[in-house]
Structure 1
Amino acid sequence: MTALRPHAEQQYADELAELSATDDRPRPPGWRLSPQAVVTYLLGDGAKITPKYVGPRRLMEIAVATLATDRALLLLGVPGTAKTWVSEHLAAAISGDSTLLVQGTAGTAEEAIRYGWNYARLLAEGPSPAALVPSPVMRAMETGTIARVEELTRVPSDVQDTLITILSEKTLPVPELTSEVQAQRGFNIIATANDRDRGVNELSSALRRRFNTVVLPVPASAEEEVDIVTRRVAQLGRSLDLPEVPAAVEEIRRVVTIFRELRTGLTEDGRTKLKSPTGTLSTAEAISVLTNGMALAAHFGDGVLRPADVAAGIVGAVIKDPVSDAVVWREYLETVVREREEWRAFYRAARDA
């Protein structure tokens, strides 16, 4: 059977092997590649290595340099700024394993970060190493690799703070066994967080001090965002084995333009102020809208991505609140979209949707 979405170290194994074979620069203890090669893996080299992140090079250099020190890395940004994507590829390039993951939620328990117990063995044998169930963080400490914590600010504050000893002392006490796990060289943590989501728990000042924070911005220009969306839509289409749909730069640019205008509250020419919907309208959502449109065009259309294929997806992305967002969308449709002659087909499709 074929995995629906291979891990980064599997999907890009050839690129990682190519970089490793030609990488003659110093590598920090436990690293598969040098810091320079990790940045090349993330940003591409214009030849054999494809870009995984499109954005300022300096941000990736700071992120990689942080992981080469004893400080953990916090990737911060609004939803859809590729925080999870970057953290996965950093772990794949540095450790060759991006699977040591804690998914943060409001229900994340302390055991997810420290360790738990096999209660059948615990009752039968009492506390013992065999009864202990290590968390992904504990396994990363034992093997000297990278652990990932997704959506750290959604984790309850008291559970967040279990990371303080791990990050400051590089050790995880196991009082039930009167022992501890000491982190091996190469261990570190990459956490992601955003401050726009509901259910956010602010990090304590003690925990925040243990992280170096890198803020991932939304794409600076429309051209940059179009480039990101085009690349990711093509990759997703191949990984999902969608029938090939010819590149539709016009539709990609239209989706990106709509999202950017509603996100910023201003039309592209700067002449008209707009109301913004409650949703984030992120780059990731634009990719999702276009991938869905490609599936519609391939399976239920004529194989060409058209306005009708993306209109329903855009409406669904914009209208999260059926009352306030519907007003925002109707106003945008009638005052902006309707006046653009080249958007007439999209206007009609959006009205129908």
Structure 2
Amino acid sequence: MSETSPDVLRPHAELHYADELAALDRLDDRDRPPGWKLSPWAVVRYLIGGELSDGTVISPKYVGKQRLIEIAVATLATDRALLLLGVPGTAKTWVSEHLAAAISGDSTLLVQGTAGTTEETLRYGWNYARLLAEGPSEAALVPSPIHRGMSRGTIVRVEELTRMPPEVQDALVTVLSEKVLPIPELDSELSAVRGFNLIATANDRDRGVNDISSALRRRFNTVVLPLPATVEEEIAIVSRRVSELGATLALPDVPAAADEIRRVVTIFRELRNGVTADERTSLKVPTGTLSTAEAISVVTNGLALAAHFGDGELAPTDVASGIVGAVVSDPIHDTVAWREYLEGVVSERPDWADFYDACRELDA
């Protein structure tokens, strides 16, 4: 991979964390599967973070159970593909990118699944000008990311697998079971080079989801990525990502107030769990996921407001509009859920009075 410009908004993981990957490569004396840049142990260390023997600090990319990452990495060292499953906002895409970066040194071989994804997107397409002029040939074939990954022996990522129509999904069955990609137009096939494997992500709680056929599901080992188990764990994730995003976006220096981050995380956890933290009050659950990713977005937007339109310190007024916007997706059900929470919970917390006033001003 070539170096990236400092003006790039979001460098690929293998470029952004190149120093960490180089340090792991230098100190990694364990066996590496064919085609892997690092050993499975080093890949897990890259995802989980820690300090290496030479003092190099590896930043955590995933905050959660290490065993889940170990299972994911072990799967990719076998002949089974990996399916990362979970509700939106559980870092499925983030984990898949970093796994590909650590294993193959290239996270760019990506297929984005949508309702409009075609079988050709997964397999290969054609340069129709050359196809009409010369007929089917290797020169006229346009390789898909999967085609390129098979020929190079690298990890390929398929995002939102369940967004694709079932008949398109099943184009992967032969690729994953036989490790070949038939090309009948050329009376040939592409055999995967050692090191090739596939990471797919899918969610099971969103509109537009298609079931995965049993034939395809058997080709995957499924790892479910949960929402953060504790409020402290989620606060740590939000704080770290907000700090990273602030630096990337070159936001003016605004201290990320711990109290406001804790408030955002607490509200999201209580509403999505349907009960207050002390388990004394039942709550209506909004239709949205209120994920950790959305909490990060709310706080980051609040920092921008504080930096450009406030006094330089993150305040309740800076996060109030973001929270309401995240909670109220359905104007009927969610509005009722939010108002009940605001009046029944927020108003009863003395140290949240300023936040309550900020939310009430939005309704005025």
Task: Verify same fold: TM over 0.5.
Answer: yes
Deviation at 1:95, TM superposition (A): 0.2
Q: What one-letter code is carried by the residue in structure 2 that aligns with 1:32?
A: K
Q: What one-letter code is carried by the residue in structure 2 that aligns with 1:161?
A: D
- For 1:241 and 1:181, the matched residues in 2 are separated by 45
1:99-139 CA deviation, whole Å, 9 max, x = no partner?
Answer: 00000000000111000000011111110101000000010
> What secondary structure sits across from 1:129 in the alignment?
coil
Other-structure match for 2:85: 76
1:152-197 CA deviation, whole Å, 9 max, x = no partner?
Answer: 0000000000000000000001000011110000000000000111
> What secondary structure sits across from 1:130 in the alignment?
coil
> What secondary structure sits across from 1:31 in the alignment?
coil
- For 1:158 and 1:114, the matched residues in 2 are separated by 13
- For 2:17 and 2:308, the matched residues in 1 are separated by 29
> What secondary structure sits across from 2:139 in the alignment?
helix
Other-structure match for 1:297: 306
2:177–2:219 Cα contact (<8 Å) kept:
yes
- For 1:195 and 1:259, the matched residues in 2 are separated by 20
Other-structure match for 2:146: 137
Find out whether 1:32 has 2:37 as its counterpart.
yes
Gaps of 5+ in 2: none
Find out whether 1:12 has 2:17 as its counterpart.
yes
Other-structure match for 2:331: 322
Deviation at 1:247, TM superposition (A): 2.7
> What secondary structure sits across from 1:148 in the alignment?
strand
Deviation at 1:48, TM superposition (A): 1.1
Other-structure match for 1:249: 258
User: Please, which moves more after superposition, 38-47 or 68-77?
Assistant: 38-47
2:284–2:337 Cα contact (<8 Å) kept:
yes
Find out whether 1:306 has 2:315 as its counterpart.
yes
1:206-229 CA deviation, whole Å, 9 max, x = no partner?
Answer: 000000000000000000000000
Q: Please identify runs of 4+ aligned residues in structure 1 that moved more than 4 A.
A: none
- Which of these residues, 100, 103, 108, is aligned with residue 112 of structure 2? 103
Q: What one-letter code is carried by the residue in structure 2 that aligns with 1:29?
A: P
- For 1:76 and 1:247, the matched residues in 2 are separated by 31
1:163-178 equivalent positions in 2, closer than 5 A: 163-178=172-187
Deviation at 1:323, TM superposition (A): 1.0
- For 2:147 and 2:190, the matched residues in 1 are separated by 7
Q: What one-letter code is carried by the residue in structure 2 that aligns with 1:323?
A: I
- For 1:305 and 1:113, the matched residues in 2 are separated by 45
Identity %: 75
- For 1:59 and 1:19, the matched residues in 2 are separated by 21
Other-structure match for 2:359: 350
Other-structure match for 1:284: 293
1:327-349 CA deviation, whole Å, 9 max, x = no partner?
Answer: 11000000000000000000010
TM-score (norm 2): 0.96
Q: What one-letter code is carried by the residue in structure 2 that aligns with 1:13?
A: A
- Which of these residues, 164, 170, 189, is aligned with residue 180 of structure 1? 189
Superposed CA RMSD:
0.6
Deviation at 1:40, TM superposition (A): 0.2
Deviation at 1:289, TM superposition (A): 0.3
TM-score (norm 1): 0.99
- Which of these residues, 232, 236, 239, is aligned with residue 245 of structure 2? 236
> What secondary structure sits across from 2:58 in the alignment?
coil
